[in-house]
Amino acid sequence: MITITKNAAKQIETLMYKAPEGAKGVRLSIKTTGCSGNSYKMDYIKADDDIAHDDIFNEHGVTLNIPKMYSWMLIGTTVDYTVDELGNSRFDFINPNEAGRCGCGESFNVDVSKLKPEDVQKSEAPKT
């Protein structure tokens, strides 16, 4: 289960309004990077992208796709959108599965042993 806050939903709606022609939605995935190993990545779903193996979450009138191969890392995550006092804005990911972050906050890692076995199996987690 993924939670999408009202602020995040409003931003996703805004992004879809401005989306490139043919975009089918927004996808949250994980990319390998940084000193802790993983970072969150938001992208438009292109017309020719295969979403057959995505988990789909609907909340506050918007849809967020997550490739099933990453769902195991994101179980229980809240997706929020924040704007600070200087006007800097970003999606924020509150992920209870994070075991640590690098010093700059760019990347994170997940401790598979803390996940419930039934959730990991549902999401087709890689074997470690």
pLDDT tens for 68-122 read 988 888 889 999 999 999 999 999 998 887 766 655 556 566 766 666 555 544 5
Q: For residue 128, is it within any domain?
A: no
Q: How many domains does the chain have?
A: 1
Structural domain for 102, as ranges: 3-122
Q: For residue 89, is it within any domain?
A: yes
Q: Which residues of 32-63 are buried (b: 16+ CB within 10 A; e: fewer)?
A: eebebebbbebebbeeebeeeebbebebeebb
Q: Is the pLDDT of residue 14 over 70?
A: yes
Q: Is the pLDDT of residue 128 over 60?
A: no
Closest CA to 54 of 81, 77, 74, 33: 74
pTM (whole model) above 0.95: no
Q: For residue 79, is it within any domain?
A: yes
Q: What ranges make up the beta strands (E) of the chain?
A: 3-4, 25-33, 37-45, 54-59, 62-67, 78-83, 89-94, 98-101, 108-110
pLDDT tens for 20-61 read 999 999 999 988 776 657 888 999 999 999 999 999 999 999
Q: For residue 60, is it within any domain?
A: yes
Q: For residue 127, is it within any domain?
A: no
Amino acid, single-letter form, for residue 49: D
CATH code at 79? Answer: 2.60.300.12
Amino acid, single-letter form, for residue 5: T
Q: For residue 67, is it within any domain?
A: yes
Q: What is the pLDDT of residue 30?
A: 87
